[in-house]
Amino acid sequence: MADRIQLNQKSYAKLSRRGVILGSLQTAFIATLAFRMRKLQVEDASNYRLLADENRINIRLIAPSRGEVYDRNGKIIARNEQSFRITIVKEDAGDIEQALFSLSNLIKISQSDAKRIIEETKRSAPFLPVTVRDQLSFDEIARIAANTPNLPGVSVEQGLSRVYPSFESYAHVVGYVGPVSDSDLQGGNETNPLLKIPRFQVGKVGVEKHYEDILRGSAGVMKVEVNALGRVMRNLSRKEGKPGNNIQLTVDTALQSYIQARLGSESASAVVINCKNGEILAIASSPSYDPNKFVKGISYSDFNELRDNELRPLASKTVQDAYPPGSTFKIVTALSALEANIIGPKDTFTCSGKMEISNRFFHCWKNSGHGTMNLEKSLSESCDVYFYELALKVGIEQINKMATKLGLGVKHDVPMSAITKGLMPSREWKLNYRKQEWLVGDTVNASIGQGYVLSSPLQLAVMAARLASGKKVNPILTKSINGQNVHNLSNIEDLDIDKSYLKIIRKALFEASNDRRGTAYGSRVIDNTYRMAGKTGTSQVRNITDAERENGVTKNEDLPWKRRDHGLFINFAPYNKPEIAVAVVVEHGGAGSKSAAPIARDITLQALFKGNPPLEVYPAKDRSAVFERQNKLGEVLKELEIFRENKV
């Protein structure tokens, strides 16, 4: 018995020790757990609350309203318009192909769009919306709204879309916007979150592209609450972004539209510049295209039609294309000779119709020759041989230097796309780029604007403006940004050319337009207040063989269109007090006196009168044709305005 009691006492002592140890461990665990819970709930509560909020709240960007573009008179050129798009959510719609089939009975969905939608729904999360169609009409919205119960996962959203009310008139100037492409995401834009907003649009060409950063604005922010799957549960806050800056251009919409209509179906271009300050009043290329098609997403057939058109409607001919300036370049050769004191205004050369240089004949456009010519008569009647003689004496380097002073061979800074520098050749240029020595014949060709010389219509207009004003005016297309003037036009420096030489050239150009022997006499203005001074140009695009000269040179109208000469004309007016300078180029139009000069005269008078000029300023023989043309153009412009009002 005593042994049993002793054993029990030993066992009890052993159990008690175990209980104490176990209890201690439990107590320590509970204490540790309590301490940890206190740390989590009290000390670290704010940190974990922030993490929880970050997991619960998404920040989404709101696309800003794009800045608008206006003309010099405040007329809208590019604006934003409320638009509606239809989206589909795969998770709610179920069978995407069946949903698209149901939608196609209500709105038009192309096969390419259907393919794109299916691919996008496969790539994106099932709860994210995918755009089916943008810029829906009210009729389409109404049809979808009426059938909403039968269209699960389909919804209509509201946004802004770019609209160009003038359609073709400003396509080459303002350009257009389009969806962000891979090329848009290069050059530091790879990480820009704004450019990754679905269906966000950026400037592709023209003013829209040049001023992209200014027009774009800054994004707004929207906070939304999402569940664990990332689906939006509710909107928490919304802060609108800063809209883009508005831009005012120097162009005049009425004049721009008139020029576009006046150029008609010709492959041509025209530039009108204010002689006093360089503001571009109009800059038009023909034919043109509707930029709104690119905003909406141009079809392959429409794009291919534009791309394959031999008249090149997509090209900005005024700044992108460069042409042999032809006889308009004789102004440069004449001024370089005067400045080098090689010739005076009364000095003469005799033109027999051709001139032999290095065992090769260089011909004048007048086979029988012009006879004895001085500087004024040679410019007025456009004698080639006279300028061959000058070229041999003055040399290409002096001609190159003068051309640069007048704005040729210079890449002018205007906010348009693919601006050409043109080409004003020199000995160094030919050696570097052609790996050939400069020849005497190269200088002779250059003296009459042929050979290697190339100039854009914008450059030719700048040359005319500088001749007229005696100032180093530079072309300006942007008037103001958000109401703040961009350029200081009050102090334009004088042109580095002797004023007496400029006076001689201006007088010669006046004779070219007003003397009976002048090449532009057929396009003269008879009202003394508005008389213009100008120079015709005809640039060859093919070689004329000696055999053809002997048998008779083929007339332009008898040649295929692409082998005909280009027609050019530059002028300024009024002669006594110049206000505007004009340059017109008609591709393959034949002689500049017949193709370009009549167009330039109409544009000049339209700009000076700010509308149709009175018939009395035209010669009597032209008034009937001018009256008929004014009426026809008036009808075209009226129909175009009605069309724009109905479409926009």
Closest CA to 457 of 257, 276, 317: 317
Contact assessment for residue 495 and residue 466, using Cβ atoms and an 8 Å cutoff: yes
CB atoms within 10 A of CB 435: 7
Distance, in Å, from the CA atom of 469 to the CA atom of 115, rounded to the nearest integer, reads 60
Contact assessment for residue 597 and residue 521, using Cβ atoms and an 8 Å cutoff: no
Residue linked to tokens 């704005």: 407
Distance, in Å, from the CA atom of 592 to the CA atom of 631, rounded to the nearest integer, reads 25
Q: 585-611 b/e with 16+ CB inside 10 Å = b?
A: bbbbbbbbbbbbbbbbbbbbbbbbeee
Closest CA to 260 of 164, 165, 170: 170
Distance, in Å, from the CA atom of 645 to the CA atom of 207, rounded to the nearest integer, reads 24
Distance, in Å, from the CA atom of 395 to the CA atom of 350, rounded to the nearest integer, reads 20
Spatial CB neighbours of 167, under 8 Å, sequence gap ≥ 6: 290, 291, 292, 640, 643, 644, 647
Assign 3-state DSSP to the chain and report helix, strand, coil percentages, each to 5: 45, 20, 35
Contact assessment for residue 540 and residue 450, using Cβ atoms and an 8 Å cutoff: yes
Strands 371-373 and 129-133: unpaired
Strands 280-286 and 268-274: antiparallel
Determine whether 327 is an active site residue.
yes
**In 136-252, where does DSSP find H-type helix?**
138-146, 171-174, 206-210, 212-216
Say which of 327, 382, 469, 593 is annotated catalytic.
Answer: 327
Q: Could you give the residue numbers annotated as active site?
A: 327
